[in-house]
Structure 1
């Protein structure tokens, strides 16, 4: 009996090694053929080939480095802003620091928006502190024409950045449509409008494209312009030349859209978890996970900032405890950082379902936001 089991395992191992050998030969054959051709070529041919291979090697080293090094990544980053020390809601006129005579001649000053600050800083984190992965040439080329999103490596940071950017995009739309104007009837703020347009730009544009054919402006250039637009708005707001309409119904609508986005992401995670539970061998589990993580990462900062911008509404409607509970749930979710993303069965003890775990935390946050929204709309 033992001999038959041993023979069976040997046959399986022989089949695996034979298969791996065929794969290696298939991958190595073009390089071996090129080596033979290169050895018999003259230097007029060899030098351009050497230059091309060297350039490609440098590009790949840079590309791999950028995908693996996450500069400025800090799940506790909202603490740096010290929002609890802000005493006034966004757009509220600040009292003069000096006596009445000085106050009479001093220009008016208003409280800037923490939400706008965080949105600008998150975009800066994506495109200045880090390279924007989705529009890099080697990311667009993929792995032997296979999208990096369909592989288990080098796509986590790109998915995370897209998750962060989706939140900033939605926030910019809210600022333009409701929060950055009085009751939605005043004129649209020009800087916010430009920021929204720039942030809506295609996430994967490089210097050249095929659809349409010709040169293009790369994605990071548009996002960097959006940073300037957002900071210009806050400069005008600090001088009381812009509007931040911090009413309860604007906060309610803002939370409604945040909850809607999180619900959609939870559905995506649930679908992947239920229908593709291949454990460590699900090639798309990692980008689903890190996109959701990026959304929570950005929402943690945006909602922390919204708590400062709408502090008067939150105090008047007595939702401070619920608000802080929501931020605590986001903190807890951001502690989940597995080295390898597994999409196994939910009852598996060997290959856990990280997607189901992330979906659980997203739904907890969404449930609290729905409760806050109910309280805000019920009075």
Structure 2
């Protein structure tokens, strides 16, 4: 009886081995055939093929490296801006430093006094927005417009696969936060409502940030050469810095009124509310666990969006410091920032979209959705207090 059981399992393992051999042979057959064909060619054909092969291997190596290495990724990047050292709200005139007096003989003639140049507090929101763009396209390569990302995996969109798309989704989430902020800078924060025109630098930044995220150097619709997405975003960052330089010279406007802060907070709450709905829809209708190939891009887009808004909201706390103090919102504002930062602690290696009541595969989308809703709830409460 024991011999029969052993013989049965031997046959099972032998069959599995033969099956695995067939699968491996089938997978490697194209490479063996190509190797045989290549070996029978002369040097005139071999050399160009070898050069092309080395080129594509290098191209894919660079692409894989850029998608897997996240340069300067730091959820605590806000600390580098040292917002606590700012003593005035954005746009307010800075006090003129007292002149340094030294013992010197009295001048023989009286000369007219030269007035000190005016200077104003620059905008922390603009600083962070420009910094996030720099992080996306200069410190890292912009993945979504890279040629191999556009080509996909054998023609399949990378977002529909579980491979190499996490960083691209994260970058698009950060970009979404910066885009939304640029709109508010143009429409309300960077102008005195009803009495001033739109700032040209902010208008330029907003226009460049709305550009297609997937544009490469050449496109089919319309057919012809194009300017790639990163070039537009770099131009947007430059325009933002020009605005801040002008604001520091008191030549531009930052309108830090309470109603502008109300609108800004409201728009951010609506923006992440839309992301929450996307997470909920995916979590409720697709329970593929670790095998849901779209769960990762949903998760990392939401993560990137909160990553961007964490810095922007921290900056808004500095730009609207006077309003926050007058409305006694310091505690609530800091709690909102803490809730946003708490969401950035979730960094799973593999994103799972399991059933919320399951015990084998976790539901990372539901967890991220919970944090997104907590942040949105705090923003709604902030808006309610400001609107009283």
Distance 2:6 2:287 in 1: 30
Q: For each residue in 1:235-284, what CA deviation from the matched residue of structure 2 results, as whole angstroms up to 9, or x when unmatched? A: 00000000000111111111111001111111111111111111111111
Q: Which residue in 2 is equivalent to 1:49?
A: 49
Say yes or no: does 1:305 pair with 2:305. no
Equivalent residue of 2:125, what SS?
A: helix
Change (3 A) 1:244 1:349: same
Report the CA distance shift for 1:14/1:257 in structure 2 as closer, same or farther (over 3 A). Answer: farther
Match of 1:341 in 2: 351
* Counterparts of 1:172 and 1:5, CA distance in 2: 71
Counterpart for residue 104 of structure 2: none
Q: Name the structure 1 match of 2:168.
A: 158
Inter-partner Cα distance in structure 1 for 2:330 and 2:113: 33
Compared CA separation, residues 364 and 209, structure 1 to 2 (3 A): same
CA deviations 1:87-109 (Å, max 9, x no partner) are: 10000001101249999611110
Cα 1:43/1:84, change in 2 over 3 Å: same
> CA–CA distance in 2 between the matches of 1:253 and 1:239?
27
Cross-structure match for 1:331:
341
The residue aligned with 1:247 is 257
* CA apart distance, 1:145: 1.1
Q: Is the 8 A contact 1:90 1:113 kept in 2?
A: yes
1:217 aligns with one of 215, 223, 227: 227
TM-fit CA distance, 1:69: 0.7
SS at match of 2:273: helix
**How far 1:349 moved relative to its partner?**
1.9
* Displacement after TM superposition at 1:6 (Å): 10
1:177 aligns with 2:170: no
User: Which secondary structure does the structure 1 equivalent of 2:219 belong to?
Assistant: strand
Q: How is 1:103-122 mapped onto 2 (pairs within 5 angstroms)?
A: 105-122=115-132
- What is the CA–CA distance in structure 2 between the aligned matches of 1:262 and 1:4, rounded to whole Å? 63
Partner of 2:61: 61
- State the aligned residue count: 378
Q: TM-score, normalised by structure 1?
A: 0.94
Give the whole-Å Cα distance in 1 for the aligned partners of 2:97 and 2:353.
57
- Which whole-Å deviations, capped at 9, do the CAs of 1:86-139 have from their partners, x for residues lacking one? 110000001101249999611110000000000000000000000000011111
TM-score normalised to structure 2 length: 0.91
Partners of 1:253 and 1:323 lie apart in 2 by 15
CA contact (8 A) 1:259 1:370 kept: yes
Measure, in 2, the Cα distance between the counterparts of 1:114 and 1:284. Answer: 35
| 1:247-286 alignment, distance < 5 Å | 247-286=257-296
Q: 1: CA distance between counterparts of 2:320 and 2:371?
A: 25
Task: Summarize deviations over 1:141-180 as a string: whole Å, max 9, x none.
Answer: 1111111111112110000000000000010010001100
Structure 2's unaligned 5+ residue stretches are 102-111
Cα distance change of structure 1 residues 326 and 212 upon mapping to structure 2, 3 Å threshold: same
Q: Distance in 2 between matches of 1:18 and 1:202?
A: 50
> d(CA) in 2 for partners of 1:165 and 1:71?
16
Superposition map of 1:90-239 within 5 A: 90-99=90-99, 105-239=115-249
CA distance in 2, matches of 1:289, 1:230: 29
Please report how far the alpha carbon of residue 324 of structure 1 lies from its aligned counterpart in structure 2 after TM superposition. Answer: 0.3
Q: Which has the larger radius of gyration?
A: 2
User: Are 2:373 and 1:363 equivalent residues in the alignment?
Assistant: yes
The Cα shift of 1:30 comes to 2.9
Contact 1:120 1:230 in 2 (8 A): yes
Give the secondary-structure state (helix, strand or coil) at the position aligned to 1:128: helix
| Cα distance in 2 between the residues matched to 1:332 and 1:225 | 32
Supply the RMSD in Å over aligned alpha carbons. Answer: 2.6
77-86 or 8-17, which moves further after superposition?
Answer: 8-17
In the TM superposition, what is the alpha-carbon distance from 1:32 to its structure 2 partner?
2.5
1:185: Cα distance to partner?
Answer: 4.3
